[in-house]
Amino acid sequence: MADSSRTRNSFINMLASAMANIASVLLGIIARRYFVLILGDEMQGLNGLYTNVISMLSVVELGMGSAIIYNLYKPIEQDDKETIRSLMAFYRRGYHIIGFIVAAIGLRIIPILPFFVKEVTVDINATVVYLFFLADAVFSYFLSYKRSIFYAKQENYIVQIIHIICLTIMKIVQTIILYITRNYYLYLAIMVLLRVIENVVITYEVIRKYPDLSDKGANPISEDIKRDIFLKIRGLFFHQIGAFVVNGTDNLVITRILGLVTAGLYSNYALIIEAIRNLSKQVIEAVTPSVGNLLVTADKDKQYDVFNKLRFINFWMAAFCGICLYVLMAPWVVIWIGESRLLPDFVMLVLAFNFFQKTMRNVYLSFKTAAGIFHEDRIVPVLEALINITISVILAKTIGLVGVFIGTTLSGLVLWCYSYPKFVYNGLFGRSIKDYCKETISYILVFFGLLVITSLAASVVKIDNAYLNLLGKLLVCLIVPNVIIIILYHKTDNFRYCLATADRLIYKVAKIHLFDKE
């Protein structure tokens, strides 16, 4: 029954995450086209810069959300409503404090923002633009904490449905406003307003569905839980810093060294790459609550078996999407926003491998998060961040844009070569490091082999019509890598599990069984 419930909830969450991200990608593509064509690459570069600055401020959150959600798994499993209420009250107070701190720090750094911008030629008040982004972040801290109930209860699909609706309204209204008025301030005001509405609706849904879990008047959490939360927060603090430096500083480095226009060109690629990466990430994240339940109820052999199967699914997604990005990005950009906004092919090659590397992390991160492994490897993300920023800055000054992403590639080896084998593969499952190296290198080599074969096959497709050319290369990407993966892995237990799971899920959807209460 537990396995069935986990499968059902994981599937619903994955489906909702997929729908939310597909909607986000489609709406983002349309909105970005009008944004770039109306306001230009420089304005898009400024937009990306402030997005990254706000990401930097998110370090203040210290990973409290992840620590709280980890501690919610057990009381939810035991239906311990009093502990759940106490945790949510603690979460609310903590997030309110964080909101004030983010606002204070955000205002204090305004004088240093010009350091990151070489020159702004557009007619805009950059400080006012930044304040809109800051308000968007601060309001979220005051309103978003209750959504963790849905996440820990494996009902994140509710959050995703609300997000899809609000995002759709936001992008449509923003694009219309931009097209009619060309007023960027009004565009940003719509963003802040719809984000507030989204959080208010999610909060209302939590209160409506779980009125007995209200955090008002809850007792203080126990000292044992408090100690565990603060221990994990101390570890997560380093992870927050590392994640920001690795994922959030590319735009800062590009803007500072190479200029806003280059940052704007890269942000067009980043929109597509990050949207697809988030889709694959949320598919795996959707099962994290189920993984948390698995780690509480199953033995190590069962845990590893589930991990191994999820890792294979993760590899298939990462390889297929990474190859599609490399082969299809150039013909897509030509159609979408024009040939003048193309980046060099070797830059896209490094970006494609970075996508594969980061996406392959998802299953490891899911098990680390569900197991509460935050404090043990707290130094690793700091080391990764230092390597990333150092190499990226040096190479950006010497070889240009591609150097920024090579720094990201090399810094990622810290996780692959140390953190994941020690704390997940060996630490959680008791498996040998030798097996980890063999399996990991095998997946990387297969990815590069698939990339070379597919790109060579796609290079044969040369059609004058841009749309047909893109379609022809897409067909190559759909067929070649997937057929090769099937040939290579069709006899493995992991592949057979994928087929069996797909059959079960299709059958359940057809019978509308997934949406019935057990």
How confident is the model at residue 14, as a pLDDT?
Answer: 66
Q: What is the mean pLDDT of the segment spanning 503-511?
A: 57
pLDDT band at 506 (very low <50, low <70, confident <90, very high): low
Give the residue ranges of DSSP H helices in 337-372: 345-371
Report the candidate in 409, 406, 420 with the shortest Cα–Cα distance to residue 357: 409
Note whether residue 517 is domain-resident.
Answer: no
Task: Supply 142's token pair.
Answer: 């005051």
How confident is the model at residue 293, as a pLDDT?
Answer: 66
Note whether residue 328 is domain-resident.
Answer: yes
Residue 477 has pLDDT above 90, yes or no: yes
How confident is the model at residue 423, as a pLDDT?
Answer: 80
**pLDDT per residue over 306-354, tens digit each?**
888 888 988 999 999 999 999 999 999 999 888 888 999 999 999 999 9
Range of the domain at 73: 2-510
CA 66 to CA 372: how far, in whole Å? 8
Note whether residue 516 is domain-resident.
Answer: no
How confident is the model at residue 514, as a pLDDT?
Answer: 42
Q: Comparing 16-20, 24-28, 287-291, which segment has the lowest mean pLDDT?
A: 287-291
Q: Comparing 325-329, 365-369, 373-377, 496-500, which segment has the lowest mean pLDDT?
A: 373-377
CA 402 to CA 385: how far, in whole Å? 18
Note whether residue 445 is domain-resident.
Answer: yes
Count structural domains, the chain.
1
How many Å separate Cα 324 from the centre of its chain? 18
**pLDDT per residue over 439-451, tens digit each?**
889 999 999 999 9
**pLDDT per residue over 403-419, tens digit each?**
999 988 888 777 777 77
Note whether residue 390 is domain-resident.
Answer: yes
pLDDT band at 505 (very low <50, low <70, confident <90, very high): low
- Torsions phi, psi for 320 (to 5 deg): -60, -50
**pLDDT per residue over 94-115, tens digit each?**
888 888 888 898 898 888 887 7
Q: Write the single-letter amino acid at 510.
A: A
Is pLDDT larger for residue 499 or for residue 102? 102
Note whether residue 433 is domain-resident.
Answer: yes
Is pLDDT larger for residue 379 or for residue 361? 361
CA 469 to CA 515: how far, in whole Å? 41
CA 436 to CA 440: how far, in whole Å? 6
HEC profile for 426-461? HCCCCCCHHHHHHHHHHHHHHHHHHHHHHHHHHHCC
Report the candidate in 269, 263, 244 with the shortest Cα–Cα distance to residue 46: 263
Is pLDDT larger for residue 186 or for residue 19? 186
Whether the CB-CB separation of 155 and 205 falls below 8 Å is answered with no
Q: What is the mean pLDDT of the segment spanning 16-20?
A: 71
Note whether residue 515 is domain-resident.
Answer: no
Report the candidate in 310, 316, 298 with the shortest Cα–Cα distance to residue 428: 298
Q: Write the single-letter amino acid at 376.
A: E
How many Å separate Cα 432 from the centre of its chain? 29
Whether the CB-CB separation of 249 and 392 falls below 8 Å is answered with yes
Radius of gyration of the CA atoms of the chain, in A: 23
Note whether residue 518 is domain-resident.
Answer: no
CA 47 to CA 15: how far, in whole Å? 30
Residue 218 DSSP one-character state: P
Distances from the Cα of 122 to the Cα of 51, 260, 267, angstroms: 18, 11, 18
